[in-house]
């Protein structure tokens, strides 16, 4: 198996080699905290499961390959991954973060790590000029999410990576919304990719996990050290579930995106919402960037399975939510089942109201995560919920 194999083939085989001892085609789950040493320091590559576990190693190999990276570190959550990444920097370092990142990333930066002397600055990273203007002598990291949660704003990874390189700054991309199937930031010049594996990588809303992937050997060494020291690791069972999930990621993500594309077009044409926000629509201000940057492994544009809708009023929003039959009101996204959420009060509750309003993250905004149900059932559910 090599890097030259196609995404779908790597997803099935890398990290999933048959068990050497028994020949089992499906990888065993190594439920162990510790490992026998034949003499002090003489082990088979593992000594304690916080530092490493064979099931986790298989998952890390699989995810590294799917993101076109050399090194992957798996974590107990996406936030554990982001926190570990930030912890590779030091007090006094300046970190530029996209202004519309996930609310938990905002909370960890401003309410926890800022107390430890990190200087965070939130910038609208859709514009390269904004990033350039924010760079200071102590800027060490630019952290972007593209598309963002929930406004689906895009940042140009290639141009941002070039700017960062010219200024000796690392670029991290939260690739949760696209999954490695829809976007591989390392191949566009990013230094590190972060995932909430809870979402499309897991794909079934049955676990919480995260990952960091990089080609930078120095960064990998630091990430591994903090992963082992802090211990925010996923259980072997969760690693196994994730390994199983990535086998179907290409099929799931493509279908979810196809469903979302079709729904977004129909909803846009019907004008029943004040605004339909979806990068696949020509009305999206960054549609051409989405078309260029968000590509399936075959090089075909893929616009993702997240759609945000402006209802116009909180009353219409609440009526819509209570009438939906198939869409479950819940946090999270990326699973095979369709979900609906209200970012203003749910995922972005910890972001100050004035900051939310300044970027038009309003109370009437509803976010859909489209699953793999039949498109006609999803469409009918939305239309009926509005009519009732
Ligand atoms: C874009 C994005 N990044 C990071 C996270 C955090 O991941 P987790 O919930 O796995 O800690 C989320 C969770 O919703 C997210 O949507």
Q: Tell me, yes or no, whether 26 and 170 share the same domain.
A: yes
Q: Tell me, yes or no, whether 299 and 333 share the same domain.
A: yes
pLDDT tens series, the chain, 388 aa: 666 899 999 999 999 999 999 999 999 999 999 999 999 989 999 999 999 999 999 999 999 999 999 999 999 999 999 999 999 999 999 999 999 999 999 999 999 999 999 999 999 999 999 999 999 999 999 999 999 989 999 999 999 999 999 999 999 999 999 999 999 999 999 999 999 999 999 999 999 999 999 999 999 999 999 999 999 999 999 999 999 999 999 999 999 999 999 999 999 999 999 999 999 999 999 999 999 999 999 999 999 999 999 999 999 999 999 999 999 999 999 999 999 999 999 989 988 999 999 999 999 999 999 999 999 999 999 999 998 6
Q: Tell me, yes or no, whether 181 and 150 share the same domain.
A: yes
Domain boundary among 203, 219, 246: 246
Query: Is 174 designated active site?
Result: yes
CATH number of 25's domain: 3.40.640.10
Query: Is 46 designated active site?
Result: no
Domain boundary among 246, 281, 305: 246
Q: Residue 347: which of 190, 177, 231, 201 has the closest Cα?
A: 177
Q: Tell me, yes or no, whether 173 and 262 share the same domain.
A: no
DSSP string, 263-324: HHHHHHHHT-SSEEE-TTSTTSTTHHHHHHH-B-TTS-B---SEEEEE-SSHHHHHHHHHH-
Q: Tell me, yes or no, whether 335 and 363 share the same domain.
A: yes
Q: Which of 102, 106, 278, 303 is catalytic?
A: 102
Q: Tell me, yes or no, whether 253 and 235 share the same domain.
A: no
The encoded tokens of residue 172 equal 């991290």
Q: Residue 250: which of 27, 75, 76, 5 has the closest Cα?
A: 5
Distance CA 56, CA 339 (A): 29
Q: Tell me, yes or no, whether 151 and 88 share the same domain.
A: yes
Give yes or no for residue 208 CB within 6 A of ligand 1: yes
Among 80, 102, 172, the mutation site with the greatest number of ligand 1 atoms within 8 A of its Cβ is: 102
Domain boundary among 221, 246, 271: 246
186, 195 in Cβ contact below 8 A? no
The answer as to whether 358 is a domain residue is: yes
The answer as to whether 1 is a domain residue is: no
Distance CA 35, CA 57 (A): 15
- Which residue range(s) make up the domain with 58? 7-246
Among 198, 333, 341, 350, the mutation site with the greatest number of ligand 1 atoms within 8 A of its Cβ is: 198
The answer as to whether 80 is a domain residue is: yes
Domain count, the chain: 2
Give yes or no for residue 176 CB within 6 A of ligand 1: yes
159, 174 in Cβ contact below 8 A? no
CA distance to 126, 155, 344, per residue, from 123 (Å): 9, 11, 19
Verify cis geometry, omega within 30 degrees of 0, for the bond prior to 267. no
Query: Is 56 designated active site?
Result: no
Give the burial string for 50-79 (b: 16+ CB within 10 Å, else e). ebbbbbbbbbbbbbbbbbbbebbbbbbbbb
The encoded tokens of residue 54 equal 């064979």
Q: How far is the CA of 210 from the centre of ligand 1 (A)?
A: 8
Instruction: Tell me how far apart the terminal alpha carbons of the chain are, to the nearest angstrom.
Output: 54
198, 330 in Cβ contact below 8 A? no
The residue written with tokens 């939310």 in the block is 356
Q: Tell me, yes or no, whether 278 and 241 share the same domain.
A: no
For residue 1, the model assigns a pLDDT of 63
The residue written with tokens 């670029």 in the block is 171
Q: Residue 161: which of 124, 134, 192 has the closest Cα?
A: 192
- DSSP single-letter state for residue 362: -
Give yes or no for residue 174 CB within 6 A of ligand 1: yes
Which atom, in ligand 1's list, is nearest to the CA of 331?
14
Query: Is 199 designated active site?
Result: yes
Which atom, in ligand 1's list, is nearest to the CA of 176?
1
């Amino acid at each position: 198996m090599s890097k030259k194999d196609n995404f779908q083939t790597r997803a099935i085989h890398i990290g999933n080699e048959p068990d050497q001892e028994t020949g089992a085609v499906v990888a065993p789950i190594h439920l162990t905290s510790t490992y026998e040493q034949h003499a002090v320091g003489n082990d088979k590559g593992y000594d304690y499961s916080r530092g490493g576990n064979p099931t986790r190693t298989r998952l890390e190999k699989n995810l590294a390959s799917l993101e076109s990276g050399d090194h992957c570190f798996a974590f107990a959550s996406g936030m554990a991954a982001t926190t570990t990444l930030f912890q590779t920097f030091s007090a006094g370092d300046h970190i530029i973060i996209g202004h519309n990142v996930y609310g938990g990333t905002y909370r960890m930066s401003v309410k926890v790590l800022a107390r430890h002397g990190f200087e965070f600055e939130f910038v609208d990273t859709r514009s390269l000029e904004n990033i350039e203007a924010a760079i200071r002598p102590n800027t060490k990291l630019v952290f972007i999410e593209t598309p963002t949660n929930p406004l689906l704003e895009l940042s140009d990874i290639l141009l941002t990576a070039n700017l960062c390189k010219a200024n000796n700054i690392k670029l991290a991309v939260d690739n949760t919304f696209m999954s490695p199937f829809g976007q591989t930031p390392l191949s566009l010049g990013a230094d590190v990719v972060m995932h909430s594996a809870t979402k499309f990588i897991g794909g079934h809303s049955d676990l919480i996990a995260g990952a960091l992937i990089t080609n930078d050997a120095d960064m990998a060494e630091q990430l591994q050290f903090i992963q082992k020291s802090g211990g925010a690791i996923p259980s072997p069972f969760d690693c196994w579930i994730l390994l199983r999930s990535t086998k179907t990621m290409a099929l799931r993500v493509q279908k979810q995106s196809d469903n979302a594309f079709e729904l977004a077009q129909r909803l846009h044409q019907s004008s029943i919402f004040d605004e339909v926000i979806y990068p696949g629509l020509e009305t999206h201000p960054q549609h051409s960037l989405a078309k260029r940057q968000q590509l399936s492994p075959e090089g075909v544009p893929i616009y993702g399975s997240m759609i945000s809708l402006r209802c116009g009023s909180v009353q219409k929003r609440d009526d819509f939510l209570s009438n939906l039959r198939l869409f479950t009101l819940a946090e999270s996204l990326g699973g095979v089942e369709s979900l609906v959420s209200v970012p203003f009060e749910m995922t972005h509750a910890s972001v100050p109201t004035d900051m939310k309003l300044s970027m038009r993250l309003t109370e009437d905004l509803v976010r859909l995560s489209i699953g793999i149900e039949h498109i006609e059932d999803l469409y009918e559910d939305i239309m009926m919920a509005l009519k009732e």
